[in-house]
Every structure is written in C-alpha cells, then in structure tokens.
Chain A
Amino acid sequence: DAGVTQSPTHLIKTRGQQVTLRCSPKSGHDTVSWYQQALGQGPQFIFQYYEEEERQRGNFPDRFSGHQFPNYSSELNVNALLLGDSALYLCASSREQFYEQYFGPGTRLTVT
C-alpha cells in the first residue's frame, strides 16, 4: 500500500516565476491538505481539498491556489514567487470523517 507521494523532491525557481507541486494521497483517502514549513518552523496550513473543492483555507494570499482531481490527487500552484516562498511544502491525506493525517515526504522549494 503506497503512502502519500509528492513530486518533485526538490525545485529551484526564480523570483516572479510560477510553480506547480503534486501530491498523490494514500490509497483510500479522499481529502488532501497542504502545509508550508519554513526552515526551523512548524508547518502552517495552506488549504484543504475535498470532493475537488477547496474546503478550508489558511492565512495565505491568493497567489497560492490548488486543485483536486477526480482520482483525489492534488496540485498546489504558487504564482509570482517571492523569496519568502522558499520552504518545504508538505501534503497530507486523510479520509473524510477521520482525523488522522498521513504526510508525504515533501517538496523542497528554493526561490532565488
């Protein structure tokens, strides 16, 4: 049973560019949440997708957007990248009605 997978592992982008990160949830999971973890900090909630719709959103600007596909996989898009967007981006999946979240290995984004 594959766990949560994320791609790519590492990514280097230039300020002002756009980036797309991908996540495949654990088998049987239908809810995907995205978190941003800056260096030396705890993860911060970006948003959550369920039934292909954004269900909850944290305190992040509109430059951060997402999508969930019918197979429950998800994308995180960030436009107009800033140096401060450099972080580890974590995807977590869960089943609706169940509270336990399983995390992927993350994507390390570096903005130069």
Chain B
Amino acid sequence: AQTVTQSQPEMSVQEAETVTLSCTYDTSESNYYLFWYKQPPSRQMILVIRQEAYKQQNATENRFSVNFQKAAKSFSLKISDSQLGDTAMYFCAFMKQGAQKLVFGQGTRLTINP
C-alpha cells in the first residue's frame, strides 16, 4: 500500500516570501503521478500542480513549482512571491498509474501574513 507523509502540520510566512512544503511517499510502483491540491476555507479541493513520475523535469505552474526526487521519494512544493490568497490547506497526493485513486497526506496548513 502506498503512503504519503507531510511532516509540516502548519507553516506561516509573510506575503511575497517564498515557502516550501515537504512531502514524502512510499511505494513500490514504478509508474505513478504526484499532485499538490489546495483546499481553502471554502472546502473546494483545487489542483495546484501535477508531476508524472516518468518525467525528469520538475513541473512548474506560474508561481508554483515542485522539486521531484524520485530516488528519495520526495515531492516538495515551492510557492514563490506568496500571496494572501495562497492561505489554505495543502495536500500532497499519490496515484498509481491506471488506478485513478488518490492517496492523500495529512495536509499542511499554510498561512500567508500581510
């Protein structure tokens, strides 16, 4: 069974700063996908960024980028130039190829302060 661990329950930074959220996972699978989801107080789970395990290049979406270390089974999220609207719970998630079933970590509560 796959497991996802987020070791930072809470983080807090000032607006415009850069913040990195950590995620490690455990799997024996070779082909899989990794995701970061954002869940603001409105509860809607929003996909922030995704990474295919077979791709060596780290994914980037505007201010959001990942550091994917396949051998170390690490998948961190970097948010640059943080904004107040980035305040939310962030979940790291794993999906085995072909499964269409997400395995989530416990989440990191990120607060961006003005």
Chain A residues in the interface with B (C-beta under 8 A): 31, 33, 35, 40-45, 48, 56, 58, 88, 90, 92, 94, 99-106, 108
Contacts and interface: CB of A to CB of B under 8 A. Distances in A.
What are the 10 closest A-B residue pairs judged by CB atoms, nearest first? A42-B104, A103-B45, A106-B43, A105-B44, A43-B104, A45-B101, A42-B106, A99-B33, A42-B107, A42-B91
Contact of B100 (A90, A99, A102): A99
Nearest to A102: B47
Given A41-B107, A100-B50, A105-B44, A48 B100 contact: yes
Contacts, number: 56
Range for the number of chain B residues in contact with chain A: 20 to 34
A56 B101 contact: yes
Interface string B71-111: 00000000000000000000101010101111111110000
Interface SS of A by simple majority = strand
A105 B101 contact: no
A92 B104 CA distance: 14
A108 B43 CA distance: 10
